[in-house]
A and B are shown apart, each in its own frame.
Chain A
Amino acid sequence: MNLHLWLIPILPLVGAAIDGLFGRRFSRQTVAAIALGACGAAFAMALWVAARFSALELPHVETLATWMRAGGFHADFAFYLDQLSLVMLLVVTGVGFLIHIYSVGYMWEEGGFYRFFAYLNLFMFFMLTLVLASNYLLMFIGWEGVGLASYLLIGFWFTKDSAASAGKKAFIVNRIGDFGFLIALFLLIKHFGSLDFATVFSSVPAFANAGNEQLLTAIGLLLMVGAAGKSAQLPLYVWLPDAMEGPTPVSALIHAATMVTAGVYMVARSHVIFDHSPLALSVVAMVGTLTALFAATIGVCQTDIKKVLAYSTISQLGYMFMACGVAAYSAGIFHLMTHAFFKGLLFLAAGSVIHAVGGEQDMRKMGGLRDRIPWTFWTMTAATFAIAGFPPFAGFFSKDEILWQAYSSPYGSWVYWLIGVFTAFLTSFYMFRLWFMTFFGEYRGGEASGHDQHSRTGMSAPHAPHTHESPKIMLIPLAILAALSVCGGWIGSERFAKFLEPATGSLPAVEAASEHIGQSSSEVLFTGISVAAAVLGLYLAWLLYRRRPELPKKIAAALGGFYQAVLNKYWVDELYAVLFVKPLVDGSSKILWHGIDQNVIDATLDNSAEGAREVSDSIRHMQSGNLRSYAGWIAAGAAAVIVYMFWTGSR
C-alpha cells in the first residue's frame, strides 16, 4: 500500500514556499489561510495514515528516490512509518496545527506576519522530515533544518539585539551537539556501511556480540551529545532559556512541544544501540536525572513567566531522558506526548497572559488575573495540575510511569527515583508559584509599564492599558489542549507501551512485573509518594505565595549565597563565557587574524605577487608586439611539443 508519506512533509514546505516567496503581497488572511491549510492538510494526512495504520505491515517504508550513491554507501529519500513515528507524527502535526491557529491571533498585529508563517511552515517540514526519515542522514537533514527554523524564529524580531544573539546562541550551541551526532553518523557509516535504520539496527546485535561494545558505547554517547544539544540537556541546555526571546507560539511549538523532544525521539529510535551499551544508557539516565533536578531548582527562582516555563521544559526533558536511560523508552515517549499537550498549553496560556497584560512577562507585576481572563485561567489550571502530576491529569500517568520505571527497571536505581520525586516536588512548587503569582492576589502591574514592554517585544499596536481576554482564535486551541492535558493520559501507560513495543522494544519492567505480581502493591505505594510530593509542592506554594507572601524574602535572605547562585542560574552562562567564548574570541582575533592571516597568508600573497611582478618585468621584452614574431614562437613551441612526443613515443 502506498500512503504517499512524502506528502506529509512536502505540504508545509509548499506552504512555506508560497508564503515566503509571495507572502509579502498577500493579505494577512491569505497568508494565514495558506499556512493553516498546509499544516492542516498535513494533520489530516497524518490522521488518514493513522486510520489505515492497523492495515499496514510494519515498519512501513516508502522509498521516493535515491539520494546519493557513493561506493558501497547509499542513502535514499525514504520515509519510515512505525508506531513510534506515528505517535510523533500525530503529536507534531496535531499540536503544530493547534499552535498555528493560535499564532494567527497572537501574531495578527505583528510586522512580518507572512515571514512568521513561512518559518513556521518550514519548521513543520523539517520536523516531519526528521520524524519520518528512514535513515540517519535524512533525519539529520530534518535535525539541522529544525535548528535553522528555530534560529530564524528565535531571532524573529531580529532588530532586537537580544533576540538576534539568542538565535545565534541557540544555533551555535546546537552545532556542538550536531558535531557529536555527525561523528556518530560517520562511525555508523564506517562500521555498518549504511545509515538506514533497518540495516543498522538489524546488524547491531551481531556487531555487539563480536565484542564491539566499546564502539557501540562511543556511538551511543555521541548520539547522546547530539540529543543533549537539541533537547537542551546538561551541559548544553543554556540556549533554551534564551530562546524565549522568540514569539510565544514559537516557544510553545518548537521549544516545548516538538523540536526539543527530537533528542528523545532520536534516542528512542536508536534504542537498539543503547540497549547494547549499558554504559551509554546509564549516562543518558544520569544526564537526564541531573538536568531534571538542576533545571527545576533554577525554575524555582525565576520571575519571568516564560523563563520559568523554559526551565520547566528542560526539567521535563530530563525526565524523558531519565526514562530512556533506564530503557523505558515508551514511558519517555508517553511523557513526550503528554508534555507536548500540557507544556504547549502552558506556553500558549502564558502567551495569552502576556497578551492580556500588554506584553509584560514579569510575574511580579501580574496577579489577580483570575477573574479578568477566566478562559486562560482555567486552561492554565488544567495544565498546571497536569505538569504537577495530580491524578487524573495527563502528566500524572506519564510521570508516575517514569518514576516507577526509574526504580524498577533493571537499569534503574533508587537514586534516580529519589531525585525524580524531589524534582516532582520542585516542579509542583514552582508551577503553583507561577499559578498563584499570576492569577491570585492583587494586580501589581503599573499602567505605564505595559507600553515599555510593547516596544521591547516589538508589539506594534499598543494595547489598552486594561487587561483583557484573548480573541477566540487563541482560546479554542487552548481549550482543545486543555482537554488533552486532562484526558491525554487516560490511554494508560501500559497500553501505550504495548502499542509501542514493536518499535521501542519491550519494557524490562513490564516483564519483571509479569513475573512478580506482588510488586503491584509497591507500585501503588510509589504512586502515593509521588502524588504526595505534588501535593506538598502545592501546599508550599500556597503557603509562601498566597498565605504569607513575606516569607519568600526571608527564606531567600536566610539561604544567602545559595539563593544568589540559583537566582543567577548557577552562573553557568558566565562560566561558559569565561571558559569557551572568551578564549575563542581572543584566539581567533589575536592568533588567527593578526598572526596567521596577516603575517603568513597575506604576506605570502604579497611577496609572491611582488616576485611575479619582478620576473615579468624582466621577461616582458619578449613581447615585441609583432604578430609574426608571436607566430614564430608558436611554431617553435609546437615543434618542441612534437619533438617531445616523438622522443617519448620512440623510446
Chain B
Amino acid sequence: MIHLTIFSIFAVICVAGAVNLLVQRHPINGALSLVVVMGSLAVEYLLLGAEFLAAVQVIVYAGAIMVLFIFVIMLLNAGVEEQTKGSRVAILLGIPGMLVGSLLLSWVLLEHSGTQAVAAGALPGSPRVIGWLLFHDFLLPFEVTSVLVLIAIMGAVVLAARPEAAQEKRKG
C-alpha cells in the first residue's frame, strides 16, 4: 500500500512536471520542470530497487545534463518562446499520430500486463552488481560508449569554439 502511495505521489509529480514542460513558454521553466521530472523518476527507480541508477540519474541527468541546459539558456539569454506557425505537418500529422500510437500502446499495456505486479525494491541494483555487469558482460559496449563520449567532447569543443578564436589561435 505504502509502495503504491509513494509511486502515485511521485507519478503525479512526474506527469505534472512533464505537462509543465509543455505548458511553460520560457525555456528555463521548462528546464526546471524537467529537473523535477528527473528527480521524481529517481524516486521511482529507488522504488524499483535500482538505487545506483537513482543516484546516477540525479548526478548525471539532474546534476550535469540539465545544468548544461540551464547554462546554455543563460548563455544565449533565451527569451520567451515565439509563437510561429512554421509547420502544418507537425500539427496535422504528428499530433494525431502520437495520439493514435500512445492510445493503442496504453490499451495493449493495460490489457496484457495488468495482472503482473512489481514489489518494492524488486531487483536490487547495487553499485557492485551493476559494476560487475558493466565490466564483465558489457565491457565492450562500455568501452565503446566511453569512446563515444570522448568523441562527443571533442565535437562539442569544435562546434562551440568561435571560428575567429580558432583562427587566431592558428595564426598565433
Contacts and interface: CB of A to CB of B under 8 A. Distances in A.
Direct contact of A and B (CB under 8 A): yes
Interface of A: 624, 626, 628-629, 631-640, 642-643, 646
Nearest to A642: B101
B86 A632 contact: no
Contacts of B97: 632, 635-640
Given A634-B94, A638-B101, A639-B101, 5 more contacts: A626-B90, A628-B87, A628-B89, A631-B94, A635-B101
B101 A632 contact: no
A542 B86 CA distance: 107
Contact of B89 (A624, A640, A642): A624
Interface residues of B, number: 18
12 contacts: A628-B87, A629-B88, A631-B94, A632-B90, A632-B91, A632-B97, A633-B89, A635-B93, A636-B93, A637-B97, A642-B105, A643-B101
A629 B94 CA distance: 8
Contacts of B148: none
A159 B52 CA distance: 70
A117 to B, nearest CB: 43
A642 B92 CA distance: 18
Contact of A626 (B86, B92, B96, B98): B86
B104 interface: yes
A624 B93 CA distance: 14
B90 A642 contact: no
Nearest to A637: B97
Interface of B: 86-98, 100-101, 104-105, 108
A631 B89 CA distance: 9
B82 to A, nearest CB: 13
Nearest to A626: B87
Nearest to B86: A626
B96 to A, nearest CB: 8
B102 to A, nearest CB: 9
Contacts of B91: 632
- Dominant SS at the B interface? helix
Nearest to B105: A642
B63 to A, nearest CB: 28
Contact of B90 (A628, A637, A639, A643): A628
A96 B145 CA distance: 55
Contacts of A633: 89, 93-94
A642 B97 CA distance: 10
A636 B87 CA distance: 14
A626 B94 CA distance: 13
Contacts of B108: 646
> Which of B95, B96, B101, B104 has the most chain A CB within a 10 Å cutoff?
B101
Contacts of A628: 86-87, 89-90, 94
A624 to B, nearest CB: 7
Contacts of A629: 86-90
A57 B163 CA distance: 79
Contact of B100 (A624, A626, A642): A642
A632 B89 contact: yes
> Which of A624, A631, A635 has the most chain B CB within a 10 Å cutoff?
A635
A386 B72 CA distance: 95
B98 to A, nearest CB: 5
Contacts of B90: 626, 628-629, 631-632
B64 to A, nearest CB: 25
A393 to B, nearest CB: 69
Nearest to A622: B89
Contacts of A642: 100-101, 104-105
Contacts of B95: 632, 635
B87 A635 contact: no
Contacts of A637: 97
A640 to B, nearest CB: 8
Contacts of A636: 93-94, 96-97
